[in-house]
Chains A and B, each alone.
Chain A
Amino acid sequence: MISANKLKTVLLFIFILMIEASAQTSAADQFNYAKKLFDEEKYFDAVTEFKRLLFFDKSDKYLFEANKFIGLSYKSGGKFSEALTYLTLTEINSKTKDDFFNSRIEIIKVNILRRTTSRALSLLDSLNNDYSFTDKKDEINYWLGWAYIFSDDWENASLSFSKINENHELKLLADSVSNELYNKTLAKILSVIIPGAGQIYTGEYFSGLLSFGWNVLWGYLTVQSFVDDRIFDGVMTGSFLWMRFYNGNLQNAEKFAEEKNLIVTNNALRYLQKEYSGNKP
């Protein structure tokens, strides 16, 4: 039989050990806890807990994963600069070819989102020229297409998606946007030749006809003044009225083309954001 005193000592001993053990958390538990917060979309807390893990865990075991999730959390919170910092750390700490590739793709996606598309394109170019990623051409072309979309270069976007599949959903979308877009230079040139023609080209018929009418009127009066030897009247009507309407007609043609193009691209982007079910940046 154990005496009551001995029993008390043993229980006390177990209690102390339990307290000691429960206060300690393994790095794996901390990682899982942070990951759970990430999965629950509690990104602020997830970043804190991943940072805590990185600060205390000296084994460097979680350098890749923790930095990746910090980067993704910042990205989800719209903090793109911070996201890039941590995703770059992820890339630096990647141990396999696939990890490196995936980290770089994440960096590219952030660059696409924050519209630093020239950086995204140059990173995609570097992946494209790397022979170790020849089996990932489709993915590279896919994100190239997205980078071109965000650069408002729908023709190149279509070209990139067509390299994956001639009937790729995004290729068809890019083609349709590309066909709907108005050529600003053409609109302006048309208006240079025939005032109002640029507006008519962009579908603004009333404005085009009005512009044409004003230009014919003031042009006629200017010419008539010179024919009648009323040089002063000709100069005044020509410079203050005709030229003013002629320049206005050029500016209008360009403005209408820009406005119409903005509507077309915004509709396409809205579709991509709300209805497209494939991978998005």
Chain B
Amino acid sequence: MRKYFILLIILNSIIIAQQDSIDFRSPENIKKFGDYLFCQGDYLRAVEEYKSVQNILRNDTVNFKMMLCYSNLGLYETSNDLYKETSWVSPFHNDIELLKIKNKLLEMPRSIQVFYDVPMDSVFSIGISKLNMTSRLYGEDIRISKSQFLSPFDEKENKAAASLYDLKTNPPYKSPALAGIMSAIIPGTGKMYSGEWADGITSFIVTGLMAFLAYDNFHAGHNTRGWIFTTLGTFFYGGNVYGSIAAAQIFNAKINFDIQDGIKLFLDHNNYFLPDYDFCK
């Protein structure tokens, strides 16, 4: 028996010594290769590799990385569905909670208030508070004071968060009604009020010119020309009032877009308050 055992060891070492032979598809190697693809940013292939060993290795890190892969691929729902497969005692449990909120916000930007009733590390509870607070900016009404809003943010994030809060609570909207009234009184001023200076001046000149030409022609007894310029002037006047209302509405839509864009940039810049992972170091 001992003879065969020694022979087995010798032959085994010969096989291993064949440098050309590699076990490309052992679960460990598949995982290693998946890790390599993950670090290369090839998330689609990485997740395919992880999937093939998921049931064999039963590894929380693999599960979490798969969630990250799906999230990076924009498959937020699939990423969050994997949460069910992660055990409560997973070392990534808190990270997963944060990632879940990130996915929800990326899937549909909205106000999300997550209340986490499990004892957590302070880093994660602060991260969740920050995400809760930032997501409030997506809602119609923030309903909390500025100091409350800023409470979870640190010094570095404070300035950006404060300016977003100010922009959301006091957006520099322009009143479409006021713009319309202004242009009805003095043509073009409603557009200038909405920041459309060139359009405003053009409206003022064109409408003014038409009114003058109408007056001048009536005054000189050229009634037909007078009516032509009156019609044209009325057309420009109406267009100027309508254009001013539209300009104010477009201005407000741009402010709304800036707010949404600002929130997204703030979250992206801070990686949705997820900690840095050393998977690829």
B15:A20 contact, CB within 8 angstroms: yes
B18:A48 contact, CB within 8 angstroms: no
Question: Closest approach, in angstroms, between the C-beta of A22 and any C-beta of chain B?
Answer: 10
Total count of chain B residues near the partner, CB < 8 A: 25
Question: Which residues in A have their C-beta under 8 angstroms from that of B49?
Answer: 48
Question: Closest approach, in angstroms, between the C-beta of B256 and any C-beta of chain A?
Answer: 34
B36:A13 contact, CB within 8 angstroms: no
Question: Which residues in A have their C-beta under 8 angstroms from that of B33?
Answer: 51-52, 55-56
Given contacts A20-B15, A25-B24, A27-B20, contact A13 B45 (CB under 8 A): no
Q: For B216, give the chain A residue with the smallest CB separation.
A: A232
- Interface readout for B15-30 with A: 1 if CB under 8 Å, 0 if not? 1001111111110010
Question: Closest approach, in angstroms, between the C-beta of A24 and any C-beta of chain B?
Answer: 4
Across the A-B interface, how many residue pairs have beta carbons closer than 8 Å?
57
Given contacts A21-B15, A48-B48, A55-B33, contact A9 B24 (CB under 8 A): no
Query: Is A152 positioned at the interface, with any CB of B under 8 Å from its CB?
Result: no
- Interface readout for A8-46 with B: 1 if CB under 8 Å, 0 if not? 011001001100110111111010000000000000000
Question: Which residues in B have their C-beta under 8 angstroms from that of A10?
Answer: 4
Question: Which residues in B have their C-beta under 8 angstroms from that of A27?
Answer: 20, 22
Q: Which of B33-54 contact A (CB under 8 A)?
A: 33, 36-37, 42, 45, 48-49
Given contacts A48-B48, A51-B45, contact A17 B1 (CB under 8 A): no
Query: Is A59 positioned at the interface, with any CB of B under 8 Å from its CB?
Result: yes
B22:A24 contact, CB within 8 angstroms: yes
CA distance A23 to B48 in the complex (A): 21
Query: B37 is contacted by which of A20, A26, A30, A51 (Cβ under 8 Å)?
Result: A51
Query: Is A258 positioned at the interface, with any CB of B under 8 Å from its CB?
Result: no
Question: Which residues in B have their C-beta under 8 angstroms from that of A26?
Answer: 18, 20-22
Q: Which of A123-139 contact B (CB under 8 A)?
A: none
B24:A52 contact, CB within 8 angstroms: yes
Question: Which residues in A have their C-beta under 8 angstroms from that of B18?
Answer: 24, 26
A24:B4 contact, CB within 8 angstroms: no
CA distance A159 to B278 in the complex (A): 56
CA distance A16 to B25 in the complex (A): 18
A25:B45 contact, CB within 8 angstroms: no
A56:B29 contact, CB within 8 angstroms: yes
Q: A residues touching B (Cβ–Cβ < 8 Å)?
A: 9-10, 13, 16-17, 20-21, 23-28, 30, 47-48, 51-53, 55-57, 59
Q: B residues touching A (Cβ–Cβ < 8 Å)?
A: 1, 4, 7-8, 11-12, 15, 18-26, 29, 32-33, 36-37, 42, 45, 48-49
What are 10 A-B interface contacts by the 8 Å CB criterion?
A9-B1, A13-B7, A17-B11, A23-B25, A24-B15, A26-B18, A26-B20, A26-B21, A57-B22, A59-B19
- State the 4 A-B residue pairs at the shortest beta-carbon distance, nearest first: A24-B21, A26-B20, A56-B22, A23-B23
